[in-house]
Amino acid sequence: MSQLLIHPQKTPLRGTITVPGDKSISHRAVMLAALAEGTSHIRRWLPAGDTLATLTAVQSLGVPIYIEKTSDTAWDLTIEGQGLHGLRPSPAPLNLRNAGTGLRLLAGIMSGQRFSSVLDGSEQLRHRPMGRIIRPLTEMGADITAENGRAPLTIHPTNLQAISYRMPVASAQVKSAILLAGLYATGETRVYQPGPARDHTERMLRAMGVNVREAAGWVWLERLEIGDWRLEPLDLTVPADISSAAFPLVAAATVPHSQITLENVGLNETRTGILAMLQAMGANISVQNERETGGEPTADLTVCFDELHGAEIGGALVVRGIDELPIWAVAATQAAGDSAVREAAELRVKEVDRISVLAGELQQLGVDITEFTDGFTVHGPVRPSGGVADSHDDHRLGMSLAILGLLAQNDTLVHDAACIADSFPGFVETMQALGASMEWVADDKVTR
């Protein structure tokens, strides 16, 4: 079923939930555990469309992975690491489906292998820019061919040398691809980040015994001895994904009289932009039980409905909350006055152009939103009309439209909503558990 029907929400949302594991950490855990010397244990791993594509790719590189399906939304993995040089050629191209993180990070690892590989994905992924990783990896000596800087990428074996690279935009995927290739390079690989790109790769590499240093915007792999690095196996529990938590969080912040608690949410500072962006609008969010899970800070979040007002977002906050801007726009529809985001042109190269597609879909549902080259302004407050919308095969857009539907005057139907499982399996069931009025409808029951 791929159509999602949402009714105007007439009752408050209430309850305590745990959203599925962090997608960024789940991708990295599988890839890095594959390169470790020994057996890694990963709990509460996220079995979503994107991360499953990475898991399958890693399996086809000859890495044994034992899966215990503790639930539909959390798996425990045991991964037999093959060491940095133990991967085997895949008999077929590696298909990363819609997963940009999967393809870009694996490109870094595959550039260091002694065999050739082809990295490919869905039509959607084939449209996304890969020049941003091809350029630095080629500078390191990688042999990569790609038509028009797009997937599929064909990578042939070469020897890599370390580089010092200044990223033109703050991107964790680019930083990670370079650092992972750096594990195979002679010398010390250094990356300069012009903003606070998420640092899960660095944290995980440190947990595995690699000396990752940071100073004045630079991140580098410090070599303490000549020769290959050896990665120790991982033993980690994946925190709940703040990017997934953002959807129930905004729902509870905007549906009158709601109060919900989200447990064990990853609160890595490079990811908490959405909390600051909502608090800038007056949202009532409190943080309890701060602790550490898998080398990452986590806590429980309680959000209560409150009146919201407009806010202006830009700079580092955009980098720290880039994936949450579509759902922040939904919160902005309920805020008094204008809410603006600028310096967010990166949104245009995500799963889809998240500025123009978001603006188009929100306008379709009766929201007053103005598009700019590097952002948008939502003119609130507004009661959305409801109607028919389309996710454009973008999971975060699909979930944002679903939450908007709860605030609308009439029913909302979101087409092509199956992609929601790319990052948040069980999204509808989780929202239903909080009392949200939404449900899947059979494809033959709806007309376009």
Using the minimum distance from each CB to ligand S3P, give the nearer residue, 24 or 95: 24
List the beta strands (DSSP E) in 74-197.
75-82, 94-95, 117-120, 143-145, 153-156, 160-161, 164-166, 185-186, 190-192
Phi-psi domain of 397 (left: phi exceeds 0; alpha: psi -120 through 50; beta: other): alpha
Residues 6 or more apart from 194 whose CB is under 8 A from it? 166, 167, 168, 169, 170, 217
Kindly identify the residues of this chain, within the stretch 24-53, that bind ligand S3P according to CB under 6 A: 24
> Tokens representing 167?
């990223």
Q: Which of 198, 203, 392, 415 touches ligand S3P by CB under 6 A?
A: 198
Residues 6 or more apart from 325 whose CB is under 8 A from it? 313, 318, 341, 344, 347, 354
Q: How far is residue 166's CA from residue 353's CA, in Å, rounded to a whole number?
A: 25
- CB 171, min distance to ligand S3P, A: 3
Kindly identify the residues of this chain, within the stretch 74-113, that bind ligand S3P according to CB under 6 A: 101
Using the minimum distance from each CB to ligand S3P, give the nearer residue, 173 or 293: 173
Q: Which of 173, 193, 258, 430 touches ligand S3P by CB under 6 A?
A: 173
Residue type, 396: R
Q: How far is residue 217's CA from residue 205's CA, in Å, rounded to a whole number?
A: 18
- CB 174, min distance to ligand S3P, A: 6
Say if CB 183 and CB 201 are below 8 A apart.
Answer: no
Using the minimum distance from each CB to ligand S3P, give the nearer residue, 277 or 438: 277
2 part of the interface to ligand S3P, by CB under 6 A: no
Using the minimum distance from each CB to ligand S3P, give the nearer residue, 4 or 322: 322
CA dihedral (65, 228, 225, 296) positive or negative: negative
Q: Which residues are catalytic?
A: 323
Q: Which of 36, 94, 172, 325 touches ligand S3P by CB under 6 A?
A: 172
Say if CB 167 and CB 131 are below 8 A apart.
Answer: no
- CB 259, min distance to ligand S3P, A: 29
Q: How far is residue 286's CA from residue 293's CA, in Å, rounded to a whole number?
A: 19
Q: Which of 77, 249, 322, 419 touches ligand S3P by CB under 6 A?
A: 322
Choices 55-63, 169-177, 222-230, 290-298 (CB under 6 A): range interacting with ligand S3P = 169-177
Phi-psi domain of 401 (left: phi exceeds 0; alpha: psi -120 through 50; beta: other): alpha
Using the minimum distance from each CB to ligand S3P, give the nearer residue, 266 or 310: 266
Using the minimum distance from each CB to ligand S3P, give the nearer residue, 323 or 394: 323
- CB 373, min distance to ligand S3P, A: 18
324 part of the interface to ligand S3P, by CB under 6 A: no
323 part of the interface to ligand S3P, by CB under 6 A: yes
Choices 166-174, 186-194, 362-370, 430-438 (CB under 6 A): range interacting with ligand S3P = 166-174
User: Tokens 């991360």 identify what position?
Assistant: 51
User: Which residues sit at the interface with ligand S3P, rule CB under 6 A?
Assistant: 24, 101, 171-173, 176, 198, 322-323
